Amino acid sequence: MSHKVTLIPGDGIGPEVSAAAREAVDATGVKIEWEVAELNPDIMAKTGQSLPPHVIESLERTGAGLKGPVTTPIAGGYTSVNVALRKRLDLYANVRPVRSLPGLVTRFSDVKIDMVIFRENTEDLYSGLEHEVVRDVVTSLKVITRTASIRIAEAAFSFAHELGRKKVTAIHKANIMKLADGLFLRCCREVAARFPHIEYKELIVDNASMQLVIRPEQFDILLLPNLYGDIVSDLAAGLVGGLGVVPGANLGERHAVFEAVHGSAPDIAGQGIANPTAMMLSAAMMLVHLKEQSAANRLRSAVEGVYAEQRHLTKDVGGKAGTREFTDGVIAALKARVSSI
């Protein structure tokens, strides 16, 4: 079976890590028809849009995208590419698995971290509803709806049920924002009642942040509104080595976009030293979405195998290899796993 996927290489180190991830996916044996949709600051300037029609048209055709980092121009009034994608395609769930990698030394190397963050992706303070009441006085509206809260809670609990996860923790600030975060919590409790076999807990966001850096191994599935989810997902990435080793997915009813959430790092672009780990692990999530679970498992295991051996690691994670060497190491590990089957 062949799958159609939109590949958005991005800019900076984007084309390098995207090419590496594409090679790794192809090495799994899964047949992908890659439809490349270029998107970078030059194209945005030329079209006057942060999300030009050719990108949307491609994603409409394929339903799935693998996206490298894209720089949003600071001047000119361009909206974030990620925000535009989420709104246009209704990608309501941002899913960020955060796992310890074998052999990668961090401050938390002595514990096993394995959590998945479910962040609501479409509303909250990110709705962008701001107003200057009078000069130097601005209001910003926090939008929380039952519809969005229920569906992100359902996504988190369904994921936990399907994968045998044991606990979902809802993160909130309902002690202060009693109406907005109170509604979010009521929706989480309603969905939790349908899954009595899954432990359900609630934590205030400031306490949750402290708990994450004291005892991160206690967390399983985290369920958060948009703003808290944005902050906590980056905090959690720092526990296992940073954004360069953590994948991400933006999921909707009809479309899904998988991405490395780190920046475009223009200062090292073209030097062949970029770390493609996050992009490869995002590609593994894409394979799961395409119902190619075996290939996803093999790709993830191959990446973890390279870290465990510590022979082909890039400089940012303590090695001396470049992008090419890391990619070759992953592909060699994939081929070894195929031959052993």
| 223 vs 238: CA distance, rounded Å | 18
φ/ψ of residue 321, rounded to 5: -80, 165
Phi-psi region at 40: left, alpha or beta (left = phi > 0; alpha = psi -120 to 50): beta
For residues 36-64, give the mean pLDDT. 94
Query: 107-239 is classed in which CATH architecture?
Result: 3-Layer(aba) Sandwich (3.40)
For residue 256, the one-letter residue type is A
Mean pLDDT of the chain: 95
**Quick check: 339 pLDDT over 60?**
no
Q: What is the structure's pLDDT at 83?
A: 84
- Would residue 78 show up in a list of annotated catalytic residues for this protein? no
Provide the token pair at 277: 């780990």
- Would residue 206 show up in a list of annotated catalytic residues for this protein? yes
| 188 vs 157: CA distance, rounded Å | 9
Residue-wise pLDDT tens digits, 248-270: 999 999 999 999 989 999 999 99
Helix (H, G, I), strand (E, B) or coil at 236: helix
Q: Which of 42, 206, 315, 320 is catalytic?
A: 206
**Of the listed ranges 65-69, 124-128, 312-316, the one predicted with least confidence:** 124-128
| 217 vs 111: CA distance, rounded Å | 7
For residues 144-170, give the mean pLDDT. 98
Domain ranges of the chain: 1-93+245-341, 107-239
Contacts of 129-138 with CB under 8 Å at 24 or more apart are: none
Q: What is the structure's pLDDT at 128?
A: 81
Q: What is the CA radius of gyration of the chain?
A: 20
Give yes or no on whether 1-93+245-341 and 107-239 have one common fold: yes
- Would residue 110 show up in a list of annotated catalytic residues for this protein? no
Residue-wise pLDDT tens digits, 87-103: 899 999 999 999 999 99
Q: What is the structure's pLDDT at 73?
A: 76
Q: How confident is the model at residue 82 (pLDDT cuts 50, 70, 90)?
A: confident
Q: Which of 26, 114, 220, 234 is catalytic?
A: 234
Q: What is the structure's pLDDT at 174?
A: 97
> Percent of the chain, pLDDT > 70?
97
Q: What is the structure's pLDDT at 126?
A: 86
Q: How confident is the model at residue 60 (pLDDT cuts 50, 70, 90)?
A: very high
- Would residue 92 show up in a list of annotated catalytic residues for this protein? no
| 245 vs 180: CA distance, rounded Å | 33
For residues 10-37, give the mean pLDDT. 97
Q: How confident is the model at residue 147 (pLDDT cuts 50, 70, 90)?
A: very high
For residues 310-322, give the mean pLDDT. 95
Query: 1-93+245-341 is classed in which CATH architecture?
Result: 3-Layer(aba) Sandwich (3.40)
Q: Which of 78, 92, 126, 307 is catalytic?
A: 126
The pTM (predicted TM-score) of the whole model is 0.95
Residue-wise pLDDT tens digits, 189-201: 999 999 999 999 9
**Quick check: 281 pLDDT over 70?**
yes
**Quick check: 78 pLDDT over 80?**
no
| 279 vs 311: CA distance, rounded Å | 19
- Would residue 200 show up in a list of annotated catalytic residues for this protein? no
Q: Which of 173, 181, 200, 228 is catalytic?
A: 173
Q: What is the structure's pLDDT at 338?
A: 62
- How far out from the chain centre does Cα 1 lie? 26
